[in-house]
Amino acid sequence: MSTYKKIALVFGIIILLIVGIIVGRIVLNNIIQKKINQVNPTEVVAINVKKIEFYEKIETFGTAIANQSFSIRIRKDDLISSLEFDKNLLITKGQLIAQLKNEKIIAPFSGKLGIREISPGILQGADSIIATLDDISVIKIDVRIPEIYLNILKKNLKVKVTTENLSETFDGSIETVSSRVDPSSRSILAQIKIKNSNNKLTPGMLLNTEIIYNEVISLGVPEESVVQQGNTAIVYKVIDNQTVARIEVKTGVRNLGYIQIISGLTDSDQIVVQGVSKVRDKSKIKLISK
């Protein structure tokens, strides 16, 4: 036998020994765990599988834009009386904003009145007032979406909007979708409209958006109840409140801490949600409350 073959044989034997030791330890640990479970049932928390709403989403962001905006430019010499521009007043359509020497400025729509600037170099400098009226009952956002979503984007798709400044989630929808893809950015322009409850959103704010699609009501389980073993997803189903069975499941999308279950469970099943790492197939269990 050549030296090369002798070395290869030695290495082969060493590898077989290592594999044998590893497999032996796994088998021994499983045997020990089963013996322990037979004597002392494992305490676990279980929940019933339920149907919940799942969806896919496109995440993006944009800047808040007023539904309508009106700029007011007044020379102080022409001003007889006006509302207080620096109070962020909410005014109604038709309300008198300012009385000038030769005309009246009337609100063309309801909105929030505010002073934008008294700026040197614009209109007669500090002798001019520049203010705005913004209709913020509805806020718009223009967003650019990658062209791969071209067949998904459509009018009235639901949108969820959040901002770092507020803990509230605002509901909106897609109002318009461009008929063309921008060749430079490979994106589609879409406009979102948001119901601005209590006027909490302000033009200029950075808003995070989730465009919702493929909504479905499906079985779902908490993420922590699913064990991923390679490409296989495992849950432990409670049997007669005494033991568990290892069940392979097919999973779908994830939303808000839950995983969609496409197959493997029914809505009458109960699964382990806490203590998953302590149980094995056919382990004896003791159910406890959260």
CA dist., res. 129 & res. 114, Å (int): 11
Q: Look at residue 123 in the predicted model and tell me its pLDDT.
A: 44
Q: Look at residue 119 in the predicted model and tell me its pLDDT.
A: 46
Q: Mean pLDDT over residues 20-24, rounded?
A: 77
What's the CATH superfamily of 57-64+138-216?
Efflux pump adaptor protein, beta barrel domain (2.40.30.170)
- Summarised one tens digit per residue, pLDDT across range 219-243 is 999 999 999 988 999 999 999 988 8
User: Hey, where are the domains in the chain?
Assistant: 1-40, 41-52+217-290, 57-64+138-216, 70-133
In this structure, which topology does domain 70-133 adopt according to CATH?
OB fold (Dihydrolipoamide Acetyltransferase, E2P) (2.40.50)
Look up the CATH number of domain 41-52+217-290. 2.40.420.20
- Summarised one tens digit per residue, pLDDT across range 80-106 is 888 888 888 889 999 999 899 888 999
The phi, psi pair for 199, rounded to 5°, reads 55, 40
- Summarised one tens digit per residue, pLDDT across range 160-185 is 999 998 989 999 999 999 999 999 99
Q: Which amino acid is at 275?
A: G
H, E, C per residue of the chain:
CCHHHHHHHHHHHHHHHHHHHHHHHHHHHHHHHHHHHHHCCEEEEEEECEEEEEEEEEEEEEECEEEEEEEEEEEHHHEEEECCHHHCCEECCCCEEEEECCCEEECCCCEEEEEEECCCCCCCHHHEEEEEEEEEEEEEEEEEEEHHHCCCCCCCCEEEEEECCEEEEEEEEEEEEEEEEECCCCEEEEEEEEECHHHCCCCCCEEEEEEEEEEEEEEEEEHHHCEEECCEEEEEEEECCCEEEEEEEEEEEEECCEEEEEECCCCCCEEEEECHHHCCCCCEEEECCC
Q: What is the percent of the chain with per-residue pLDDT over 90, rounded to a whole number?
A: 52
Average pLDDT for the chain: 87
Q: Look at residue 38 in the predicted model and tell me its pLDDT.
A: 57
Judge whether residue 121 has pLDDT over 70.
Answer: no
Tokens of 250: 């097919």
What band does 36 get if pLDDT is binned at 50, 70 and 90?
low
CA dist., res. 37 & res. 21, Å (int): 24
What band does 122 get if pLDDT is binned at 50, 70 and 90?
very low
Q: Look at residue 8 in the predicted model and tell me its pLDDT.
A: 67
- Summarised one tens digit per residue, pLDDT across range 268-280 is 899 999 989 888 9
